[in-house]
Amino acid sequence: MNAPVLTPGGRINESLPIKAVRVAVLTISDTRDEESDTSGHLLVERVKAAGHELVDKGIVPDDVQAIRAQVMSWVDQGVEAIVTTGGTGITGRDVTPEAIRPLFDKEIDGFSVIFHLVSYQSVGLSTLQSRALAGIVKGCFVFCLPGSNGAVKDGWDKVISAQLDSRHGPCNMVELMPRLLEA
């Protein structure tokens, strides 16, 4: 029997099978295209390496309606988790929180707190410039990360990956999926 692998605040029990989560990756940017979308490609690599099913990858401009339309399309297709990159900053064109937050049935407040804790270790006070957020839209987890490669690595590697790993204990978000739409 394999010993559990330690993760921040928990353990991965590698003797258990992983439940693949249906994940979509969305890059939000006015300037990136498929070739220059390094943060989106990093997320895709990490999603696949973690044993999840990549359902789709897309790029939309920094436009509230375009962002909402793509997210809701994937939610309606039964995607279980969406990870976005980009548009969480504080400039005029950064509209990801404005686009996504109204879609939430529930916001996961702790995500932003934990993201900023790990981000602070990498970029110091510059983490204040991020409005990273997460929540649930019709039973689908939505995680919104900044657009830099470092933020994607911190967000996925140190926060999201363990919570989307069904083998993570003492608890994880995967085990909650069947109950997200309870009344």
- Looking at residue 31, its amino acid is T
> Which residue spans within the chain are E strands per DSSP?
5-7, 10-12, 22-28, 53-60, 81-85, 106-107, 133-137, 140-145, 168-169
Q: Tell me, what CATH number does 44's domain have?
A: 3.40.980.10
In a domain, 50, yes or no: yes
Task: State percent of the chain over pLDDT 70.
Answer: 95
Reported confidence tier of residue 183, pLDDT bands at 50, 70, 90: confident
In a domain, 181, yes or no: no
> What pLDDT score was predicted for residue 44?
98
- Looking at residue 37, its amino acid is D
In a domain, 4, yes or no: no
| pTM exceeds 0.85 | yes
- Please give the residue range of the domain that contains residue 154: 19-170
- 22-79, pLDDT tens digit by residue? 999 999 999 999 999 999 999 999 999 999 999 999 999 999 999 999 999 999 999 9
Q: Is the confidence at residue 126, as pLDDT, over 60?
A: yes
In a domain, 182, yes or no: no
Give the total number of structural domains in the chain.
Answer: 1
> What pLDDT score was predicted for residue 1?
45
In a domain, 175, yes or no: no
In a domain, 10, yes or no: no
In a domain, 176, yes or no: no
